[in-house]
Chain A
Amino acid sequence: DAGITQSPRHKVTETGTPVTLRCHQTENHRYMYWYRQDPGHGLRLIHYSYGVKDTDKGEVSDGYSVSRSKTEDFLLTLESATSSQTSVYFCAISGGQGLGTVSTDTQYFGPGTRLTVL
């Protein structure tokens, strides 16, 4: 899995509680991404990062925040989880074949985190 780990792999939580998911890479890749996967929707981009402390919103960013204080870690936080955020969350990384905020390289995915919000 290209040196990408996600933690936790499974989590059950209650509505209104904060949740943080962690993505860790050992590849020293510049770009990191968070996606969610839901039936009938494929994968949808939540947020991405193009460097330490550099992040931007994706297609479905509402209700989520991210932080990247080190190259190897990208955190996804649900400040107050809702049932609509029940999903499988995937982290991805890509190398530096790009300019600035844009990577044109292949993305490599982590194993996923299954989150259930009751």
Chain B
Amino acid sequence: SQQGEEDPQALSIQEGENATMNCSYKTSINNLQWYRQNSGRGLVHLILIRSNEREKHSGRLRVTLDTSKKSSSLLITASRAADTASYFCATDNNNDMRFGAGTRLTVKP
């Protein structure tokens, strides 16, 4: 069964706009990770946030974690057409890694 569930399932925006994706989960976690997958390719790790952290930044990415609400968000600022991909959150609880079904992001030029 899935642990993380992304919302929305699909998101379409214009280049330059910000994209926000949310992830909710059900049980306690050690960390939460966000991955990107381009069509037909493997997953690429974007960012890892540990359960004792609340916010992390990496370039145009900003991830927040609220363990009290069991939720996380991924913000991509100033989106580009190259950001078009599926984005997955994954929760890790003692090697029990659970992925959500993903958010499909389309960035229109």
Q: Could you tell me which A residues sit within 8 Å of B by CB distance? A: 1, 31, 33, 35, 40-45, 48, 50, 56, 58-59, 90, 92, 98, 101-104, 106-112
Residues in chain A near residue B45, CB distance under 8 A = 106-109
Q: Is the CB of B41 within 8 A of A42?
A: no
Set of chain B residues within 8 Å of A110, measured between Cβ atoms: 42
Q: 4 other contacts beyond A43-B88, A44-B99, A59-B98, with CB at 8 A cut-off?
A: A102-B95, A104-B50, A107-B45, A109-B45
Q: Which A residues are in CB contact (< 8 Å) with B33?
A: 106-107
Main secondary structure of the interface of B (DSSP, over half): strand
26 contacts between A and B (CB under 8 A): A31-B95, A33-B97, A40-B101, A41-B101, A42-B4, A42-B88, A42-B99, A43-B90, A43-B99, A44-B99, A48-B95, A58-B96, A59-B96, A90-B42, A90-B43, A92-B43, A101-B95, A104-B30, A104-B31, A106-B48, A107-B45, A109-B42, A110-B42, A111-B41, A111-B42, A112-B42
B14 CB–A CB distance under 8 Å: no
Interface residues on B, range: 20 to 34
- Smallest CB gap from B94: residue in A: A102
Residues in chain B near residue A41, CB distance under 8 A:
2, 101
Q: 0/1 per residue, B80-106, Cβ < 8 Å to A?
A: 000000001010101111111110000
Q: Given the complex, which residues of A lie within 8 Å of B35, measured CB to CB?
A: 109
Nearest Cβ on chain B to A110's Cβ, whole angstroms: 6
Proximity string of chain B (39-63) to chain A, C-beta cutoff 8 Å, 1 when within and 0 when not: 0011111001010000000000000
Which listed residue (B30, B41, B97) contacts A112, Cβ 8 A?
B41
- How far is it, in angstroms, between the C-alpha of A111 and the C-alpha of B44 when the chains are bound? 10
* Contact across chains for B101 and A1 when beta carbons are under 8 A apart: no
A59 vs B96: C-alpha distance in the bound complex, in angstroms? 8
